[in-house]
């Protein structure tokens, strides 16, 4: 691996950080050590990097801000790729904008509000990248990325750059084409917003920030909602009804503020968090015959 990383550094494809502890790159603040994180400078560098990794059968994982990932404590014997350099933003005619996959979703939401553009208020409290939000079809307050994404530019597994229209992205509740087609990587997106009044948009964002502070355990590391809401139900209500608020395994705890949040409240391990997620899931199944679907992606658990 050292030889490969030395070769990649000479090729100047982007910054390389070696022997990286993933607890610094996930919002749960847990995870093992990865051989390296590489930050490709542009699409061509990304394509070249992926070509080399695939030719040599090297494990890799593209991540955003790690806000929906649970890495195990084991070593990730491969390469993590982050698209931080894909953080460009261009305002287009007709209230549209072109934005890179590495751009912060929260930053984008607040910036377009200042330009009097409405449609992204729901995203003002989602701590991910634009690419991660497209992958997850992130949403809140009865809206999500599927409502505003016009086109998504992706890199295919055979390293072609193609553009997918909204309907081709197959957006549904917390899901998208990218989740069901491994190997496709979001590069950029064109969003279609609408003109609004800056003061009104910013007031909505302030109000929702206040509501989040009151109802969510933002003072602890977490990954937001753990489970998707079953149709016609709320996962948090099901969990709370079982008396599981405050239930803990190791350093992981079901939040006492919001039952659909699991927090790292005291030096939790990845295993603590995963075991607690599975415990809650099993208890809900036993009581209600409801199969809760985990929003977070478990990585490197095989």
Active site residue ranges: 174, 225, 295
Instruction: Go through 140-153 and write b for each residue having 16 or more CB atoms within 10 A of its CB, e for each that does not.
Output: beeebbbbbbbbbb
Using alpha carbons, select from 247, 222, 225 the residue that is nearest to residue 234: 225
Beta-bridge partner residues of 132: none
Hunting for tokens 């009151």 — which residue is that? 214
Contact yes or no for 66/49 (Cβ under 8 A): no
Using alpha carbons, select from 157, 175, 203, 164 the residue that is nearest to residue 54: 157
């Amino acid at each position: 691996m050292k030889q490969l990383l030395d070769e990649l550094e000479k090729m100047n494809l982007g910054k390389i950080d070696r022997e990286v502890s993933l607890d610094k790159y996930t919002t749960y603040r847990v995870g093992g050590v990865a051989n390296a994180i590489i930050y490709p400078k542009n699409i061509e560098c990304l394509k070249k990097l992926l070509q080399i990794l695939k030719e040599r059968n090297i494990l890799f994982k593209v991540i955003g801000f790690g806000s929906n990932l649970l890495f195990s404590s084991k070593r990730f014997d491969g390469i993590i790729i982050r698209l931080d350099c894909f953080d460009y933003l261009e305002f287009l005619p007709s209230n549209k904008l072109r934005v890179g996959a590495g751009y912060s979703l929260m930053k984008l939401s607040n910036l377009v509000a200042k330009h009097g553009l409405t449609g992204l208020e729901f995203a003002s409290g989602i701590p991910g990248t634009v690419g991660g939000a497209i992958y997850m079809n992130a949403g809140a307050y009865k809206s999500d990325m599927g409502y505003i994404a016009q086109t998504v530019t992706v890199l295919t597994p055979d390293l072609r750059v193609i553009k997918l229209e909204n309907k081709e992205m197959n957006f549904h509740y917390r899901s998208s084409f990218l989740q069901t087609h491994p190997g496709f990587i979001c590069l950029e997106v064109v969003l279609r917003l609408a003109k609004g009044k800056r003061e009104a948009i910013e007031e909505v964002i302030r109000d929702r920030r206040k509501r989040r502070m009151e109802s969510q355990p933002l003072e602890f590391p977490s990954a937001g909602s753990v489970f998707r809401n079953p149709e016609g139900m709320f996962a948090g209500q099901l969990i709370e009804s079982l008396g599981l608020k405050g239930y803990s395994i190791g350093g992981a705890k079901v939040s006492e503020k919001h039952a659909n949040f699991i927090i790292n409240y005291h030096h939790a391990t990845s295993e603590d968090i995963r075991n607690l997620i599975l415990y809650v899931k099993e208890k809900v199944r036993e009581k209600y015959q409801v199969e809760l679907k985990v929003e977070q992606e478990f990585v490197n658990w095989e």
